[in-house]
Amino acid sequence: MNLYLAVRWGSDQSEDGPDGEDTNFLVRAPSRDETASMVDAYLANQMTHERVEPVCHRLVELGEDGGKITEAGIVIGPWIAFAIGNTGDVYKTWIREGQTDYRWKDMHE
């Protein structure tokens, strides 16, 4: 299992919507795509998204989870705060592109 930081740009709780504080999650999962699926489902079902999109926009692979828990899931979150700055030079980082197909762009390419 790996640990991922998943970020949705903005928050409905912020006055600035998508330009304000971000919606963040720490996730334990075997892959980027499973992380995105879990967070997207949470956002669609548990949070409001009248002014922001109901998907995560950035994923950062922080490394392997060395703990004994083997179940995938959201470890911490959501929390509302500006996302961590440029992580692409240190960690595997992906950004979602597009408004409808949400393809992932590898920030290392």
Asked whether the bond before 30 is cis by omega within 30 degrees of 0, the reply is no
Residue 108 pLDDT > 70:
no
Residue 91 per-residue DSSP state: S
For 43-76, the pLDDT digits (tens) are 999 888 888 888 999 999 999 998 888 899 999 9
Residue 99 pLDDT > 80:
no
- The average confidence (pLDDT) of the chain is 87
Of residues 86 and 75, more confidence is placed in: 75
Spans of all domains in the chain: 2-106
- Alpha-carbon dihedral angle through residues 103, 55, 63, 19, given to the nearest 10 degrees: 100
What is the average pLDDT across 14-42? 93
DSSP assignment of 27-87 = EEESSHHHHHHHHHHHHHHHS--SSS-SS--EEEEEEE--SS----EEEEEEEEEPPP---
